[in-house]
Chain A
Amino acid sequence: MILHPGVLALLLGGLVSLLMLSAGALLGIRIARRWNPDGAEADQLSLERRAWLVAVLVRWAIVFEALSLLLFIYTAEVIHPLFVGAMCATGTLNANPIGWHLIWIKLLLFLLGGLWMVLNHLDLQCPEAPLTRFKFIALIPFLPLAIADLTLMVIYFAGLEPEVITSCCGALFSSGGDGLASELAALPLRPMMIVFYAGLAAYGCLVLLSLLSRRPWMHYLLALASGLFLVLGLTAIVSFISLYIYELPTHHCPFDMLQRSSNFVGYPIYLSLLGATICGLVQAMLEYLCRIPGLSVITSRAQRPWLLMTLFFWMLFALLTGWPVLFGPLAMTAYF
């Protein structure tokens, strides 16, 4: 077990958010079962008051979980000198491979949490609160995820042994090795670049078209495209964007760009990619909720700002990933 201050902060944050989420989710499920929006008796009034408590508890827990994702990645970066063979967060995560599962659990909590916050915001805007039952039932998947998050975090940090020799990113993300990371690193450069930039352009066009047209299927398509865009973006980062950022034709690590040596450029890149994905997914949710009576005005009014935000994050991601490729000192023409 490594008793690093960052590790203690993560465990404390994980415990607090789990307590808040479990209290919120359990209370939320109880409220959802007895919720009767048409009733005006004392019981319903008390449920409405408790609904506020659930909303506040869950909102804070989601904020803590989102911050915990950032702190986890940065802590993995900071403690890498403690492990023989580690050069960045990859080495720390490899030192106890459970860490990789933690990343996707935290990412999922981040994405689902973002969507739940939007749902809660819409519900609070409408006096009839038509989404209350739905938003509380939607809390059910959060509970196992938060439990898994804290449990895995404890197992991960307890299992970190500084004397175990770990492998660095150069070994894991090398085109010659086995596994998904190596497969991604070994993708042919030219076709991958064509696919990524074509996808980027298509996604941008789709956002613009959604802004101009109000067709429902367009918004569902955008949400689907956002999911694909996330996968494509992550693949491209490992495959070739990393090469241009490090100015090295063989270094594919997706974590080194979070270090000071790369001016922390990884943070805006990942946040813009995740931001575009969440904003894109929100479109489908808004479109679906449009059908609920009492919500159509609020949701249709909310669609435009969310589309503009998707466009902003898309532009930021395109700029951050396009700049080193177009204007960086590394020329990969010999590898095409």
Chain B
Amino acid sequence: MRYLKILEYALASLLRRPGKTCAILVVYTLMIVVLASVLFLTQALKTEATTMLAGGPQLVVQKTMAGRHELIPVSAVEKLVEIPGVKAVKPRVWGYYYDALTGTNYTLQGFDTLANELSLLNGRLPREEGECAIGAGVARSRLIHLQDELILIDYDNIGRIFTVTGVFVSAADLLTQDLVVMPEGPLRQFFGMPDSLATDLAVEVYNPNEVDTIANKIKRSLPDSRPITQSELLRTYHAVFDWRGGMMLALFSSALMAFCILAWDKATGLSAGERREIGILKAVGWDTGDVLLLKLWEGLALSLLAFLSGCLIAFILVFWWGTPVLGGILRGWSVLFPALRPTPFIDFYQLGTLAFLTIIPYVASTVIPAWRAAVTDPDEVMRAS
């Protein structure tokens, strides 16, 4: 009961000084918004990457020559199918295209190699030479729509005209933003790629637990190849996003330090009224422990309010507004950014980490000022006023 009474007094005391409370609350909240946005966005990007890769092949085999990626002979398929545990091997034809007109990079993909995501299409898939389906980003950058023409320059510097028969809907943005899809034959002609070669091989495996073993067998059977498993890709994505998020947090640590100095300063600069208040409290029987408790409650109430409102604003920024500034930095570097609409989630570990990063420095920087206030001598204060 005594604790609750002191809490009540602490809240009333915060409300009695709205200017000072608001000043610290606004800065505290802003700092939490920035740090929470970084944390939420990093987690959201990791989740999106996991979802995106889940639809892809379990194992991709690339050929390397002199340490660089090379086109792989389609004949390698026969060797790989013989490995026990391998369900199917599909040669994939795809590549990059730099569009000098808009200064963007497109991904050109052979029709056979796409899986489930093709259902998210307005119009239909290309059926013959001279037709293509494009991602929403390509349509936007070229200002073209369904049934319009897309002109691309092939490997021989000859312009080729493709009719747009389908545009991918924006729900599939993360996968299809910069995509141009056409049948495999015309794409080979466009890139000048012989029929005997493919960009890479997608391997399907019966038992997902055997993927690493099969990757080892492939490496033995084709020594100049590089098998890339889905879990490896996922691990790399997680490491990259964690690293970027961590770098951002490390950069913001200077802001955190500035905030701690502000908190220290605000807590130290007691007004004459506050000093008199503490003096009177002590004169009427409060001891140092009670005043310390009062200051603790004040600090915790302020922290909790700033923490909750900061997290709420960050939540809205990341999951609703699409992170206008931070998104570009954390996602990577590209001209055609897919619109990011991550699935909202609340992770208690993230909130705990955030509390550790923000509340601990605040508490630490207000301990000594709180003690200074608590040991105020009532006699001295009364005389001074």
Contact = CB atoms under 8 A, between A and B. Distances in A.
Interface string A282-306: 0000000000000000000000000
B246 A5 contact: yes
Contacts of B39: 5
A6 B242 CA distance: 10
Contact of A64 (B38, B289, B360): B360
A19 B250 contact: no
Interface in A2-17: 2-10, 12-13, 16
B371 A16 contact: no
A3 B243 CA distance: 5
Contact of B235 (A19, A64, A82): A82
Contacts of A84: 235
Contact of B246 (A3, A12, A82): A3
Contacts of A13: 356, 360
Contacts of B368: 53
Nearest to B374: A52
Given A56-B371, A60-B363, A74-B349, A5 B249 contact: yes
A200 interface: no
A217 B247 CA distance: 56
Nearest to A54: B371
A152 interface: no
Nearest to B292: A56
A contact patch SS:
helix
B42 interface: yes
Contact of A5 (B292, B353, B367): B353
B136 to A, nearest CB: 31
A28 B246 CA distance: 36
Contact of A56 (B235, B354, B367): B367
A105 interface: no
Interface in B335-385: 349-350, 352-354, 356-357, 360-361, 363-364, 367-368, 370-371, 374-375
B228 to A, nearest CB: 14
Interface in B123-152: none
Given A20-B364, A52-B374, A82-B235, A6 B292 contact: no
A10 B360 CA distance: 11
B361 A12 contact: yes
Given A4-B242, A5-B249, A74-B349, A52 B360 contact: no
Interface string B239-251: 1001101110110
Interface string B166-186: 000000000000000000000
B288 interface: yes
A74 B352 CA distance: 10
Given A71-B353, A78-B349, A5 B360 contact: no
Given A52-B292, A52-B375, A56-B370, A8 B250 contact: yes
Contact of A49 (B288, B361, B370): B288
B371 A82 contact: no
Interface in A68-86: 68, 71, 74, 78-79, 81-82, 84
B280 interface: no
A260 to B, nearest CB: 10
Contacts of A53: 367-368, 371, 375
Interface in A57-105: 57, 60, 64, 67-68, 71, 74, 78-79, 81-82, 84
B42 A52 contact: no
Contacts of A9: 353-354, 356-357
Contacts of A71: 352-353, 356
Given A8-B253, A12-B356, A84-B235, 6 more contacts: A3-B250, A20-B364, A57-B367, A60-B367, A82-B242, A162-B235
Interface of A: 2-10, 12-13, 16, 19-20, 49, 52-53, 56-57, 60, 64, 67-68, 71, 74, 78-79, 81-82, 84, 124, 162
A-B CB proximity, top 4 nearest: A3-B246, A9-B356, A49-B375, A53-B371
30 contacts: A2-B239, A2-B243, A3-B243, A3-B245, A4-B242, A5-B38, A5-B39, A5-B350, A6-B349, A7-B246, A8-B246, A8-B250, A8-B253, A9-B354, A12-B356, A12-B360, A16-B360, A16-B361, A16-B364, A52-B374, A60-B367, A67-B356, A68-B356, A71-B352, A71-B356, A74-B349, A78-B349, A82-B235, A82-B242, A84-B235
